[in-house]
Every structure is written in C-alpha cells, then in structure tokens.
Amino acid sequence: MKVIEHLEKAKGKPLISFEVIPPKRGGDINQLFKVIEDLLPYNPPFIDVTSRAAEIEYRETPNGIQKKVIRKRPGTIGISVAIKNHFNIDTVPHLLCYGFTREETEDALIELNYLGIENVLAIRGDDLGYHKPIPEYKSQNRFAYELVEQITNMNKGKYLEEELLDAKSTDFCIGISGYPEKHFEAPNMKVEIERVKQKVEKGGHYVVTQMFYDNKVYFDFVKMCRDAGITVPIIPGLKVLTLKSHLSNIPKNFYINIPEELSCEVLEAKDEHVSEIGAKWAAKQSEELLINGSPGLHFYIMQSAKPIIKMFKHLNM
C-alpha cells in the first residue's frame, strides 16, 4: 500500500512510522530485525530505510596514508524487501542524487518495481566528499526535484533508453523532504518553500520534515507551504534526544535549534537522566502535533528502539 493511502486510511487515528538505517558493511541484518520487532507494538504502517552514497576514507598503511572509497551501509533495496516480506510492513527505500547516475537510479527503480515496493523517498543526499566520475554517455540528477521528475516519468512509462519507451509504467508513491528550519544551503525560508513546491510540482506526493524540537517551526512551515499552494500531506519528523552530546552534535550535523528550555534541563541533569528528559519532551511534542492535526508522526530510530519505547510510556494516545 502507498504511503498516501495509509495516511488517508488513518484519518482520525494516530499514524506512527519509523526510519532505520542499514547495518554497517558486513553486519548482521538480524540486529536490525530485532529493532523492528521492538517497534511492532506501535503498528507502523510503513518503515523508511535510509541510503548512503560512497565516501572517502584515509587509512594509515605500512605504505603511508592511502585513500579508499567505500560504501559503509549498502543494501537499502535488499533490506527494504526483506523487512516487507518478513514483517508484512510497507517499506520506503531512500533514493539519492549524490553518488548515483540516472541510469543506476532507473535500474534501482525497475528492481524495486519487480519486487513489489510501492514507495520511495527522493532526496539529494549528503555530500560525503567523494564525487563519483560520471562518463560522458551517462548523466546524474543534481537536485532532488530532478530525481522526483525521473521517478514521475517512469510512472508515465518514460524511460531513459529509447527501446524502453513502450515499457510498462511504474506506480511509485514519491516522498520528498522538507526543512522547517530551512536547508542549510537555502538563504531563507522563502527559497526553502519554493524548493518544496518545485518538488511537489514535479510529482512529490507527500513531505517528511527534518527533525525539530520546537513545534512552532513545524506549524509555521506548514502554514507557509499552504500559503504557497502546497496541499500534499506534511509529516513531522522527530528524534528523541538521549545524550548530552546531542545538544552540540544535532545542531552541528542537522542545522537545527534546540529550545532553551530543553537544553537547560539536559545540561543541569545527570547523564543517566537525559534519556528520560528527551522521552518526555518528544511525548509532549507528539501530543501537541497530533491534537493540532498532524497527519502522523515519523520517528528517526536509526539503531535502537529503546528511546521510542521510553517515549511511548509518556505518550497519552
């Protein structure tokens, strides 16, 4: 089932979805399955599986420092299919611009279509320092709206290769990203909203936001989107704060603000109490979002369900 169908079906009821990351290269998928098993009591209608492009590592060897290109967390497609088949939960694999040619993207979409995956999230991805050489006879999506357009074209039966123009159309539900505190490369919120609108006009069916800790930025973001004529569902993305180091790491890596009230409480607390503070804050956020009409809640889980389990103990659903 498509994400937008899940949203329509869930009207009036809380819809809780999650996002996980593939195991590290050579890791064990059973560890990821254990995380998902812990999430099953919350009846997630779909689970996102992130993707990561190749990056450069510098390693010290007997012959000196050597540069190595590596994908640390491969397997997004296979893991998405495994989760769907093992748990009977729809999955949303992430597709990236960075690190992949349009031809590789088309192959990935064809494979996902073969395997019965109906949803994808189209994002530009992070620049991890490795710029993959693109041969002259191939091309690359530079921006997320171009990736959305490519997927939309395949939904219309338009493929890159001439001989595939009569191929069967795909039918992907396309998710896109939104940044309530703006993407760090956007000069202001006006440009941020314009970029979201561009992705919707190219075929995006719904928006999932970057994480935030102040609900006001989400409500303001939704209003700006609606004022700009963006009518698709906008799902808030949340992450439970669990460590004092998150007060510096999260703003540094995701370019978002931590409210003064939350940061003061965390700084004054003992280390062992921080996760409880974060859980209560996320529960309070969740309740306010749902009461005020949020179409659902999307939690960035990554590698552990423990923060979410703690949060749900405080959440009055």
The answer to whether residue 193 is domain-embedded is yes
The residue type found at 23 is: P
The answer to whether residue 108 is domain-embedded is yes
Per-residue model confidence (pLDDT) at position 125: 85
Rounded-to-integer distance, Cα 247 and Cα 260, Å = 10
CATH number where 9 lies? 3.20.20.220
Per-residue model confidence (pLDDT) at position 234: 98
* Sites in the chain below the pLDDT cut of 50: 55-56, 69
The answer to whether residue 182 is domain-embedded is yes
Instruction: Please give the C-alpha separations between residue 276 and each of 283, 297, 309, in angstroms, as whole numbers.
Output: 11, 20, 11
The answer to whether residue 255 is domain-embedded is no
Copy the structure tokens of residue 59. 């390693």
The answer to whether residue 249 is domain-embedded is no
Q: Per residue in 107-119, pLDDT tens?
A: 999 999 999 999 9
Number of domains in the chain: 1
The answer to whether residue 81 is domain-embedded is yes
- Whether 19 sits among the annotated catalytic residues: the reply is yes
Instruction: Reduce the secondary structure of the chain to three states and give it as a string.
Output: CCHHHHHHHCCCCCCEEEEECCCCCCCCHHHHHHHHHHHHHHCCCEEEECCCCCEEEEEEECCEEEEEEECCCCCHHHHHHHHHHHHCCEEEEEEECCCCCHHHHHHHHHHHHHCCCCEEEEECCCCCCCCCCCCCCCCCCCCHHHHHHHHHHHHCCCCCCHHHCCCCCCCCEEEEEECCCCCCCCCCHHHHHHHHHHHHHCCCCEEEEEECCCHHHHHHHHHHHHHCCCCCCEEEEECCCCCCCHHHHHHHHHCCCCCHHHHHHHHHCCHHHHHHHHHHHHHHHHHHHHHCCCCCEEEEEECCCHHHHHHHCCCCC
Residue of 5, 8, 19, 118 marked active site: 19
The answer to whether residue 302 is domain-embedded is yes
Per-residue model confidence (pLDDT) at position 226: 98
Q: Which candidate, 149, 169, 172, places its Cα nearest to that of 158?
A: 169
Give φ, ψ of 240 to 5 degrees: -75, 125
Per-residue model confidence (pLDDT) at position 286: 97
The answer to whether residue 256 is domain-embedded is no
Q: Per residue in 156-171, pLDDT tens?
A: 999 987 665 567 899 9
Say whether pTM exceeds 0.85.
yes
Domain residue limits at 21: 3-243+275-312
